[in-house]
A and B are shown apart, each in its own frame.
Chain A
Amino acid sequence: MAQFDEKISKDQFEPAIIDASTSERISKPSLNYWQDAWLRVRKNKGAIVSLVVIGILIIMALIGPSLSKFEFDKQNTKHANLPPRIEALENISWLPFDGTRTLKNGNVVNPYEQKQIEEYYWFGTDALGRDQFSRVWKGMQISLYIAFLAAFIDMVIGVAFGAISGYFGGRIDNIMQRIIEVLSGIPNLVIVILMIIVLKPGIISITVALTITGWVSMARVVRAQVLKLKNQEFVLASRTLGASHAKIIFKHLIPNLAGVIIINTMFTIPNAIFFEAFLSFIGLGLQEPLASLGTLIDEGFKSMIAFPYQMLVPAIIISVIMIAFNMIADGLRDALDPKMRD
């Protein structure tokens, strides 16, 4: 106990300095919304892997057709239905790239040797002897075109329609919402079939069909968000300062909607890609000799038992695209949603 009795001299103390300016200081580094979101996207491994996968697929779609020695629409019936064969990988027995295929009775044959073909078809050839490798990446280009088209339509028509409808309200809103209901009431497939009557089946009729209906869900989401935001006090404050409608929409509403818009777009993209593939699969989409992942799957599907690789490769690629886009969308939603802020 003796140690507690020790006298502590006054000069050991120093008065604390209470300074208002230091108490107002914030030590945390300043991050804006996007830096903050990127920190959280980075934590999501699935989204990052998907981002890389999509990046690789986009690069392959752009350079893939020219990597192969064969044109995507060059027919060579002598080389029809060849299995995949890749130069260095053909000697690794467990990889399916050795140019052999198994017949129904279990015999393994090598059509390249039977027909004495020197060329290497990396993903094999189809029933008309066209190089599957360049056809797959050509099809991928179509899917990417659809993806960007859908994103563009969503961001431009959907956002503008929803923002105007929600912001001005009243009779304008009423009329615009009835238009949306009419549009969403007609099934997409019916619109495409009607388009085909007027136009030829192909990329243009799909583009028109997507333009007519693709933005409806985005317009609804944006309208709902605008309705929520437009009576927030920061918008009222801007109005009392005398800001114009355009300024309020572009400076206050759209930046606050950015997260929702991006998330919605990312979820629309895989749907649009699948829509195109589906139309091509049932024969309403792209026509020969153009290739899309849908038509490739359709052709491969006809000889699925004999030549499974013809369907497998495009099917795997479209699945990978869809999964990757969905995972990115998921990661972005977690990152951009302010309710998840930690």
Chain B
Amino acid sequence: METRKKLLEIKNLKQYFNVGKPNEVRAVDGISFDIYEGETLGLVGESGCGKSTTGRTIIRLYDATDGEVLYDGVNVHGKKSKEELKAFNHKMQMIFQDPYASLNPRMKVSDVIAEGIDIHGLAKTKEDRMNKVYELLETVGLNKEHANRYPHEFSGGQRQRIGIARALAVDPDFIIADEPISALDVSIQAQVVNLMKKLQKEKGLTYLFIAHDLSMVKYISDRIGVMYFGKLVELAPADELYNNPKHPYTQSLLSAIPLPDPISERSRKRKTYDPKMHNYQADESVELREVSPGHFVLCSEKEFEQYKK
């Protein structure tokens, strides 16, 4: 584990909205984790826990309130020159949640996909540009003829693949996938996820995969982080997290997965989670601690001893 290269280090990232006002929202409240090169980190949690905000803050759609995001050892936040920003946009890309809102309805598919190529000047001639677009379309399983169509002529799954092609156009190393499958039909979900897996293998991509579908996250992720109210409560390799959840919130989340088996389903007990059950004292320091190699849990010193057993 330690020998792998850290591609992205997120240190104490905070994103507050309406700072100093009565309606202050602490969407992301000091989270830290690393993403290794070539892996897929799944990020799960309930609605409104700050998963999407984390993704958007990492890619600078929001200005972080506090904290650092190190990409290849370089901080990507703070004041940057235009060239530095462009270089950063070149490496990190995003796939969005809603395939119906993420493509400009007034632009042809070729222009949607070529937007990054144009901004970064990656094509020298018009022909070169179109060839790149065709290549990208074929990469995501669409035809050449689709280049001259408008987005409203496509289905949800096709649109999502166009969105993936747009992100791939600048040849990024790291892609944040912000619930890329939650707006799609189940049969199409597999298509998109398998495409993402295939691309990862071919291009050596690193993913931050944000989702709330636990079974899908387990399928695609190498490691999984669980978020609760702006905090990362547990981070572990996918199998370890599913087989040996430590944090009560993770246990609660896993107990909510329905099983396609009527006998065990009848006996499934839904655990509830109440943050008061920790009963943290004011002088206790609650932080992410490594209970077993690669398995981090948000806990106090006392709980840490318990979890280690």
**Chain A interface residues toward B at CB < 8 A:** 20-21, 24-26, 28, 30-33, 232-234, 236-243, 247, 251-252, 255-256, 258, 338
Residues in B neighbouring A256, C-beta threshold 8 A = 104-106
Q: Are A25 and B119 in contact (CB under 8 A)?
A: no
**Residue B296 CB within 8 A of the other chain:** no
User: Are A241 and B98 in contact, CB atoms less than 8 angstroms apart?
Assistant: no
Partner of A25, one of B101, B115, B143: B143
- Given A32-B150, A243-B115, A252-B104: A236 touches B143 (CB 8 Å cut-off): no
Give the complex CA separation of A239 and B92 in angstroms.
12
Say which residue of A28, A240, A243, A255 sits within 8 Å of B153 (CB atoms).
A28
Specify which of A242, A252, A255 is in contact with B89 (CB 8 Å cutoff): A242
Q: How far is the CB of A262 from chain B (nearest CB, A)?
A: 14
A-B contact count (CB 8 A): 86
Q: Does B96 contact A (CB under 8 A)?
A: yes
B61–A24 CB distance below 8 A? no
> Is B5 located at the chain interface by the 8 A CB criterion?
no
Closest chain A residue, CB of each to CB of B90: A242
User: Once bound together, how far apart are the Cα atoms of A26 and B142, in whole Å?
Assistant: 11
Query: What are 12 A-B contacts with C-beta separation under 8 Å?
Result: A24-B143, A24-B146, A25-B145, A26-B153, A30-B149, A31-B150, A232-B102, A233-B96, A236-B94, A240-B61, A240-B93, A251-B107
Would B97 and A233 count as touching, CB distance under 8 A?
A: yes
Contact yes or no, B148 A30, CB < 8 A: yes
Chain A contacts of B166 at CB under 8 A? 237, 241
Q: Apart from A24-B158, A233-B101, what 6 extra A-B contacts exist at CB < 8 Å?
A: A232-B101, A237-B102, A237-B167, A241-B115, A252-B104, A256-B105
Q: Is the interface of A mostly helix, strand, loop or mixed?
A: helix
- Contacts A20-B141, A240-B61, A241-B116 given; indicate if A234 touches B104 (C-beta within 8 A): yes
B143 in contact with A240 (CB, 8 Å): no
Residue in A21, A25, A237 with the greatest tally of chain B CB atoms within 10 Å: A237
Which residues of B lie under 8 Å from residue A25 when comparing CB positions? 143, 145
Those 9 A-B pairs whose CB atoms lie nearest each other, nearest first = A242-B89, A233-B102, A255-B106, A233-B96, A234-B104, A241-B116, A233-B101, A240-B94, A232-B101
CA distance A247 to B104 in the complex (A): 13
Does the CB pair B149–A243 fall under 8 Å? no
B59 at the interface (CB under 8 A from A): yes
B119: chain A residues within 8 A (beta carbon): 241-243, 247
Interface residues on B, range: 35 or more
Is B86 at the interface (CB under 8 A from chain A)? yes
Q: Once the chains bind, are B96 and A236 in contact (CB under 8 Å)?
A: yes
Q: Are A236 and B106 in contact (CB under 8 A)?
A: no
Chain B contacts to A: CB under 8 angstroms: 56, 59-61, 85-86, 89-90, 92-94, 96-98, 101-108, 115-116, 119-120, 141-143, 145-146, 148-150, 153-154, 158, 163, 166-167, 170
CA distance A20 to B191 in the complex (A): 12
Contact of B115 among A24, A238, A255 (CB under 8 A): A238
Question: A278: shortest Cβ distance to chain B, in Å?
Answer: 38
Point out the residues of chain B lying under 8 angstroms from A252, CB to CB.
104
Instruction: Quote the shortest CB–CB distance from B178 to chain A (angstroms).
Output: 9
The answer to whether B102 and A234 have CB atoms under 8 Å apart is yes
Taken together as a complex, chains A and B put the C-alpha atoms of A21 and B146 apart, in Å, by 11
Q: Which residues of A contact B97 (CB under 8 A)?
A: 233
Question: Which chain B residues border A232 with CB–CB below 8 Å?
Answer: 101-102
CB distance from B195 to the nearest CB of A (A): 12
When the two chains form the complex, which single residue of B61, B143, B163 contacts A21, counting CB atoms closer than 8 Å? B143
Task: Give every chain A residue within 8 A of B85 (Cβ-Cβ).
Answer: 242
Task: Select the residue from A242, A243, A251 with max chain B CB neighbours within 10 A.
Answer: A242
List, in ascending order, chain B residues with CB within 8 A of A30's CB. 148-150, 153
Q: A25-B145, A32-B150 are in contact. Are A239 and B104 (CB under 8 A)?
A: no
> How far apart are the CA atoms of A21 and B145 in the complex, in Å?
11
Q: How far is the CB of B71 from chain A (nearest CB, A)?
A: 14
By beta carbon, the residue of chain B nearest A26 is B153
Contacts of A242 in B (CB 8 A): 85-86, 89-90, 116, 119-120
A232 vs B170: C-alpha distance when bound (angstroms): 21
Given contacts A26-B149, A32-B150, A233-B102, contact A239 B158 (CB under 8 A): no
Query: How many angstroms from the CA of A30 to the CA of B154 in the assembled complex?
Result: 11
Give the nearest-CB partner of A258 in chain B: B106
A19 CB, nearest partner CB in chain B, Å: 11
Q: Are A241 and B89 in contact (CB-based, < 8 A)?
A: yes
B88 to chain A, nearest CB (A): 8
